[in-house]
Amino acid sequence: MSRVLQEEYMRRRIAFKLAAIWLAVAIPLSAVLLATYYQWHKTHLAVIKEQRIGYATLSGTSFKMLVADLQRRMGLVGLEIVDMGVTDPESSLELRRLAASSPSAHLVFTDGRGRALAANQEGLVGEDFSGHDAFRHASRAADGNGIEGVDTGDDGAVGFHLAKRIDARPPLSAGFMIMLVDVGKLHRSFPAVLAKGGISVIDSEGQVVFQNEDPGFALRRERWGDRFPFVRRAIHGDTATTTDFDFPRGGRRIGAFVPIEPFGWAAGSSVEAESALAPFSRTLMVGIPVAVVLAMLALGVSIMISRTIAGSLGLLVQDAQRIGAGDFEQPVHTEREDEIGDVARSLEGARLSLERYERENARLFERQRQDADLDRALADIYSIIHSTLNFRQILDRVLSAAVPALGCDVGGVNLREDRYWVRVALYGLPKEYLGEKLTDEQNRLAALVAKTREPVVVNDALKDDRIDPGFVRRYGIKSSMVFPLRSRDEVVGVLFFNYHSVRTDFTTAQVDFASKLSHSLSLAFENARIYEAEHDIAQTLQTALLALPERVPGIEFAHAYHSATEAARVGGDFYDLFELEHGLLGITVGDISGHGLDAAVLTSLLRSTIRTRAMEQDKTPRQVIEMANTILFRSSPADVFATVFFGVLDRSDGRLVYSSAGHSTGLCICSGSRVATLEANSPLVGAFADASFRESEHRLGAGDVLFLYTDGLIEARRGGELFGEERLLDLLREDRAQDPADVVRRVVDEVLSFSRRQLSDDLAILVLKRQS
């Protein structure tokens, strides 16, 4: 064989062997790369599904809040209509005002049988709405609320009906507010919690109620429940996800649908699959060509090298196998300057590219995880906001959750008081800063937010002239974002988050999170303000209800009142003591069911009724209680009633004539520590219109003590044990001094000690002693 042929034969053998080596490396490496890309795709898809579930849950919660707010406003307008009278022209005006400020096609007020008595459109008066599911649900529901699916009104408007039962007072029977919510107007009223992609709301029949990308889905009454199995699953109470959502507007989507309880509806969120998977696709489009180019380069180089470099291929193969296994940290050996060195450097370039791609995917995954964490944190914060009406308590708990969730150093709330911004809540700063007052010049960002009513984001506080340099130096602020807190369309305060440790560019997710939080805190501020105003009114009224004269001739007396909790200071327990003509004395102790402003108003009505009727000539306790029963029955809801002890004492001879209407047993501490009982002799007040009442008589001797109380005394608990009437009787028998003030003090101390100062109900005590 000639030398040329021999060299050619050797080159071919070497090329064949190197090609075999190349295949042995390239095939496992390709398989590893494909497996890596498949795992990236699977992880990315799981994150997208979790994110869609979060957006769907937030959308469902926002829709429930919208429905609850509309029904609350319907209830308020309904009560105003009842108060002013249905026939009053102002009633229709109130309906038109509510309809104009809400996504309503029409709004009516009906009687208890569903016939429209007033409406925002004159043509609806007299129409029968009793056939609507919303009306039937509201008439049966304990909370008086009703909802039904999408329908088309007589005027062609597409919407769903909401109903609110109005429990009116006689002679007007219970009425109903019924609204047709126009789905075409929901885009103007639905809370701004929209994410990238689509958000949908589906009723219990599977019809589209809301779709943020195309309102036509709802207007055309498309039935996604019939078309998509995963929508039906959500309507039936299960969370459902899909990667093959054939969206009606075209294109495949990734989506999730969750149930909206207790409506039996569903909320969904979807995003175009191509858009959501774009980061992965870009990585794939770059990675595959790089891998192919490198593989072909390795093949070409392997064919050209000689047998003298075959020993070095083992090291290169090991590096390639390590990279194929996903280990991108250790660099490839590139010491050689020949062809093997070139291949090694090419492989090192591929390793660096794959390492960058891996870091980029990890960064994208971390960003998506952070966005999902913010969504979950916001859902938890919504629960905190709705757990109490104490605004300062809400602020402390919300900031404790929001600042760590955002990753900021400091957060707080400043409220506007006179000409200053007052710090009322802080997280991340010493407590001595609380209560600090700042002028508009000092707190320029807050002043700017108040003026523009828009958020302000400052990524670099040292270079932004919108913020006072002295303010920045004093607190060490690097970055800051400030959001308005509104009440009645006025900026009443600001919510702020700061970075003090490092300058940071706020992300879109952080700004969106803080914006949603400021809207929720604004609503919480308004609710707390309304609650506090009502509470102050009721507290003032309660104080007046417990006022007694300083002295009554011929009588020693003492009294006490204790509320069950600080939050329930305004209750329905009361007592009264007033002089009548001919030396008579009126004595009243009562307990109306309920707490708050409504209970205080009814208590005032009942107390004044008894006092006024008792002062009429020749009125007996039975007659007074009968009149009080009639007035309370007509003036209160069906579930409100009262227990009342009313007696008239003749101070000259001790004759006590009384009517005890369902009230706790009255007690008389006689001489020798004997305790006589004054049992109830009549039914509850306000429970029945035609109730029959009786009166009894007892004589108080000189020095005898009359002990009257409400049931919160004997129903005080320690675990499962009641204080009880027997324990009270034993306590009164032991008290020989029979001084009213001492009796009251001793009984109250014993009850509070027994219950460990945790009363289960309010208690009121009135003690009288007839002097010699």
Summarised one tens digit per residue, pLDDT across range 399-428 is 888 899 888 999 999 999 888 999 989 998
**Residue 724, both tokens:** 């009880």
Are the C-beta atoms of residues 249 and 45 closer than 8 Å to each other?
Answer: no
261-270, 650-659, 698-707: lowest mean pLDDT where?
261-270
Q: Domains in the chain, start-ordered, CATH in brackets? A: 3-44+278-370 (no CATH), 60-274 (3.30.450.20), 387-536 (3.30.450.40), 546-770 (3.60.40.10)
371-375, 631-635, 696-700: lowest mean pLDDT where?
371-375
Query: How would you label 352-380 residue by residue, b for 16+ Cβ within 10 Å and e otherwise?
Result: ebbeebeeebeebeeebebbbebbebbee
Express as a percent the part of the chain with pLDDT over 90.
30
Is the per-residue pLDDT at 310 higher than 80? no
CA distances from 237 to 59, 264, 705 (A): 16, 7, 64
Q: What is the rounded distance in angstroms from the CA atom of residue 228 to the CA atom of residue 244? A: 10
Nearest to 711 by CA among 642, 766, 753, 664: 664
Is the per-residue pLDDT at 306 higher than 60? no
Q: What is the rounded distance in angstroms from the CA atom of residue 379 to the CA atom of residue 362? A: 26
Is the per-residue pLDDT at 3 higher than 50? no
Q: How confident is the model at residue 6 (pLDDT cuts 50, 70, 90)?
A: very low
Q: How confident is the model at residue 746 (pLDDT cuts 50, 70, 90)?
A: very high
184-188, 259-263, 455-459, 554-558: lowest mean pLDDT where?
184-188
What are the DSSP E strand ranges found in 502-570? Answer: 555-562
Is the per-residue pLDDT at 192 higher than 50? no
Are the C-beta atoms of residues 301 and 344 closer than 8 Å to each other?
Answer: no
Nearest to 196 by CA among 391, 367, 50, 51: 51
Express as a percent the part of the chain with pLDDT over 70.
84
The predicted pLDDT at position 176 comes to 92
49-58, 80-89, 187-196, 276-285: lowest mean pLDDT where?
187-196
Contacts of 340 (CB under 8 A, 6+ apart): 301, 305, 309, 312, 313, 316
Are the C-beta atoms of residues 665 and 677 closer than 8 Å to each other?
Answer: yes
CA distances from 313 to 8, 339, 349, 687 (A): 22, 11, 18, 99
Mean pLDDT of the chain: 83
Are the C-beta atoms of residues 75 and 82 closer than 8 Å to each other?
Answer: no
Q: What is the rounded distance in angstroms from the CA atom of residue 694 to the CA atom of residue 621? A: 9
Over residues 594-601, the mean pLDDT reads: 76
Best-predicted range by mean pLDDT among 256-260, 295-299, 323-327?
Answer: 256-260
The predicted pLDDT at position 537 comes to 59
Q: What is the rounded distance in angstroms from the CA atom of residue 539 to the CA atom of residue 603? A: 12
Q: How confident is the model at residue 470 (pLDDT cuts 50, 70, 90)?
A: confident
Is the per-residue pLDDT at 14 higher than 50? yes
The predicted pLDDT at position 692 comes to 93
The predicted pLDDT at position 587 comes to 96
Higher pLDDT, 53 or 275: 53
Is the per-residue pLDDT at 567 higher than 50? no
Q: What is the rounded distance in angstroms from the CA atom of residue 420 to the CA atom of residue 86? A: 46
Query: How would you label 727-745 residue by residue, b for 16+ Cβ within 10 Å and e otherwise?
Result: bbbebbeebeebebeebbe
Q: How confident is the model at residue 585 (pLDDT cuts 50, 70, 90)?
A: very high
Higher pLDDT, 271 or 305: 271
Q: What is the rounded distance in angstroms from the CA atom of residue 370 to the CA atom of residue 373? A: 5
Q: How far apart are the first and last CA of the chain?
A: 150
Q: How confident is the model at residue 568 (pLDDT cuts 50, 70, 90)?
A: very low
Indicate left, alpha or beta for 196 from its phi (over 0: left) and psi (-120 to 50: alpha): beta
Over residues 570-574, the mean pLDDT reads: 78
Are the C-beta atoms of residues 544 and 573 closer than 8 Å to each other?
Answer: no
Over residues 242-262, the mean pLDDT reads: 84
**Residue 487, both tokens:** 């009440």
pLDDT tens by residue, 69-117: 998 999 988 888 888 877 777 888 888 888 888 888 889 999 889 999 8
The predicted pLDDT at position 565 comes to 59
Rounded to two decimals, the pTM is 0.40
The predicted pLDDT at position 227 comes to 86
Q: What is the rounded distance in angstroms from the CA atom of residue 381 to the CA atom of residue 767? A: 49
Q: What is the rounded distance in angstroms from the CA atom of residue 453 to the CA atom of residue 165? A: 37
CA distances from 33 to 27, 30, 323, 363 (A): 10, 5, 9, 20
